[in-house]
Amino acid sequence: MSGTALRPPRHRPDRRAVAWWTAQWLILMVPVGAAALGAYWAFTDRPLWLGVVAAGFAAGCLALAVAAPRAYYRTERWEVTDEAVYTRTGWLTHTWRVAPMSRIQRIDTARGPVQRLFGLADVTVTTASSAGAVTIAALDHRLAADLAERLTARTQAVPGDAT
């Protein structure tokens, strides 16, 4: 990979990822917001200021569930070249992960139940690195399967023992 300039990866997750991530956030945040409102209603003496705080918290939970997936979609990137697999993630802190083809030991795809509803899958590239695997999240499930197959063929063609 020497001589290769590090540049932002070209590809974003599938556009359906925003809906999938929104569903995940809503599954988490709706009960949290409802618990805040329920706790307010559980008080026998309900001061107005506490109701405003609880309602504001619940509204903030919903706003976060809607905004966070869109922000994440704008920052998530991935690319596969002949030399490496690389990703960039993060809102405030950008995290770059690069897995050289010669270091790849395993390629997996995963599709959870909610992901299947949206036709998405993740590809995880495991290397000999102590930093862990590189995950390309929220791809069309057919693209993920093709990518895993292509990466498997490519890594078998690269000399080295992946250590």
- What is the domain count for the chain? 2
If we measure between CA atoms, which residue out of 3, 10, 162 comes closest to residue 86?
10
If we measure between CA atoms, which residue out of 103, 107, 100 comes closest to residue 160?
103
Chain segment 76-91, per-residue pLDDT in tens: 999 999 899 999 999 8
Answer yes or no: is 2 within a domain: no
Chain segment 94-136, per-residue pLDDT in tens: 899 999 998 999 999 999 999 999 999 999 999 988 888 999 9
Q: Are residues 115 and 84 in the same domain?
A: yes
Q: Are residues 61 and 87 in the same domain?
A: no
How far is it, in rounded angstroms, from Cα 75 to Cα 27?
22
- Residue 90's CATH number: 2.30.29
Chain segment 31-63, per-residue pLDDT in tens: 999 999 999 999 878 899 999 999 999 999 999
CB 33 within 8 A of CB 61: yes
Cα diameter, the chain: 72
Q: Looking at 2-6, 17-21, 140-144, which range is the least confident one? A: 2-6
Q: Is the pLDDT of residue 3 over 90?
A: no
Q: What is the mean pLDDT of residues 151-163?
A: 79
Answer yes or no: is 11 within a domain: no
How far is it, in rounded angstroms, from Cα 141 to Cα 61?
30
* Per-residue confidence (pLDDT) for residue 163, from 0 to 100: 61
106: domain range? 77-157
- Around Cβ 93, how many Cβ atoms within 10 Å? 6
